[in-house]
Amino acid sequence: MVTPTTAEVWDWLDHVPDPEIPVISVVDLGIVRDVKWQGETLEVTLTPTYSGCPATSVIEISVETALRDHGLTDVTLKRQIAPPWTTDWLSDKGRAKLSEYGIAPPNPAGGPKECPLCHSPHVERISQFGSTPCKAQWRCTDCLEPFDYFKCI
């Protein structure tokens, strides 16, 4: 087998979905920190969104499976928790995918800028707690639809 370039590996990983929000890849989420060859071994460094994230093991299995599906057998996954993951690491493509899916992307100014469904700026928080620890529940006061907001971390 010809050794793939790191750019090819990044592309493969860009097709690995986040298990909690499958519309976004682990690359767009910003948790794939590094991909490099250490001799014959591919080393992939991952940073979980937070240390207690229940999806971390599933993400690691999904990444390893994707790489093995592309013929790689000598793979090492490295978990790096410092510096901690931040929503600043979400790609622009990932933010757009979240919004298209109906989840308002993080906004450091304090809450969603607009409803991801009708794009009205008239929104209100329902609950600081959502379907996963990284999301909160909001509602649009124009279309009256509830939606998830990806919290800033």
- What lies within 8 Å, CB to CB, of 132 at 6+ separation is 20, 21
Q: What percent of the chain has pLDDT over 90?
A: 86
pLDDT for position 54: 83
pLDDT for position 130: 86
Tokens of 39: 């001799």
Query: How, if at all, do strands 103-104 and 146-150 pair?
Result: parallel
Q: How far apart are CA 126 and CA 70, in angstroms?
A: 44
Do 17 and 23 touch, CB atoms closer than 8 A?
yes
Domains contained in the chain, CATH given:
6-85 (3.30.300.130), 90-150 (no CATH)
Contacts by residues 134-141 (CB-CB < 8 Å, ≥ 24 positions apart): 134/20, 134/49, 134/50, 135/103, 138/104, 138/111, 138/112, 140/115
Q: Which helix (H) or strand (E) holds 146?
A: strand 146-150
Whether the pLDDT of residue 1 is over 80: the answer is no
Mean predicted lDDT score pLDDT of the chain: 94
- Among 10-19, 47-56, 106-115, the least confident range: 47-56
pLDDT for position 74: 96
Whether the pLDDT of residue 132 is over 90: the answer is no
Q: Which has more pLDDT, 153 or 6?
A: 6
Q: Is 14 exposed, middle or buried (0-12, 13-18, 19+ CB in 10 A)?
A: middle
Whether the pLDDT of residue 50 is over 90: the answer is no
pLDDT for position 106: 95
Average pLDDT, integer, range 32-58: 93
pTM: 0.89
pLDDT for position 41: 97
